[in-house]
Amino acid sequence: MTLPNNAREFRLASRPEGFPTPENFDLVEVPVPTAGDGQLLVRNVVMSVDPYMRGRMNEGKSYVPPFEVGKALEGGAVGEVVASNAAGFEVGDTVLHNLGWRDYAVLDAARAVKVDPAVAPLGAYLGVLGMPGMTAYVGLLEVASFKEGDVVFVSGAAGAVGQVVGQIARLRGAKRVIGSAGSDAKVKYLVDELGFDAAFNYKDGPVGEQLAQAAPDGIDVYFDNVGGEHLEAALDSLNDRGRVAVCGSISNYNTKTPTGVRNTGLLVTKQLTLRGFLVMEHGHLREQFVREVGGWVASGELRYQETVTEGLDRAPEAFIGMLRGENLGKALVSL
């Protein structure tokens, strides 16, 4: 194929104050890069927008370096190899990598993973079979030590991670699975499509009251994607020796006045376990995850939704919409 001379990439124009705005992003034209020894040139087909990217837009030390102002953004993407200087990769291969937010990416072959478009749609490798699905799997099963018969509560349950958490719990024998989401349509999706036993719209009233009604006998596991009021409500509802997997705190990502939790004394009196985690630290479970969740997806036992925005130029719109909860399931951008 004949490659164009120029392509586009999004750069961080400025650091957001509160919610990101389109002005924080800069779409620039750049020469199509050339692959060096041991490298691949990949034409991106689909890219991911994820909550963790908001943290990387801030300055300061974290588990990954912040995005640099004036430099290209990064994130999960799947694309087609259009030039290869690396053994084991051929032109036409489809690969998963971390240089999204651009039309073309040059990367070391060691940073690319082959995926098979015949096994699953490309977006699935960024969602249910990718980092979000793996996050759900390790968070529920290893971090929260889920066991058959547990009552499980998931916040942000209609998002990329939450939709998988609830279904894994159900398929692994949970006694009851409860989810919260931000719209009546999402609540309906959780119950009617994904098999949650109960779900509620957190905008309809105090989370604590709605959770207590949905889980009259308490909960054993809370998978936390939201933090704030949700975490406080979950601590109230957790049974003795309950476990919390802290995946994210999206309710506080875009505010300078974070919502606190006032009932941490319950950690002691109920002997609760509250544990944060990073999916990258649990690579030993990857093969098990692919085998088990991949099997459920192939059989149709585990279902998922994607919200796909068309066009690289609309990536900031997709990202901001995801942070506002406008997506159902995994938020993707088709290039």
Each of the 335 residues of the chain gets a pLDDT tens digit; together they read 789 999 999 999 999 999 999 999 999 999 999 999 999 999 999 999 999 999 999 998 888 899 999 999 999 999 999 999 999 999 999 999 999 999 999 999 999 999 999 999 999 999 999 999 999 999 999 999 999 999 999 999 999 999 999 999 999 999 999 999 999 999 999 999 999 999 999 999 999 999 999 999 999 999 999 999 999 999 999 999 999 999 998 888 787 777 779 999 999 999 999 999 999 999 999 999 999 999 999 999 999 999 999 999 999 999 999 999 999 999 999 99
Fold for the domain defined by 131-280: Rossmann fold (3.40.50)
DSSP string spanning 236-281? HHEEEEEEEEE---GGGTT-SS------TTHHHHTT-EEEE--GGG
User: Looking up tokens 């601590």, which residue turns up?
Assistant: 235
* Sign of the alpha-carbon torsion through 322, 323, 324, 329: positive
CATH code of domain 6-126+305-334 = 3.90.180.10
State the virtual CA torsion across 310, 135, 223, 166 in degrees, nearest 10.
70
Contacts of 205 (CB under 8 A, 6+ apart): none
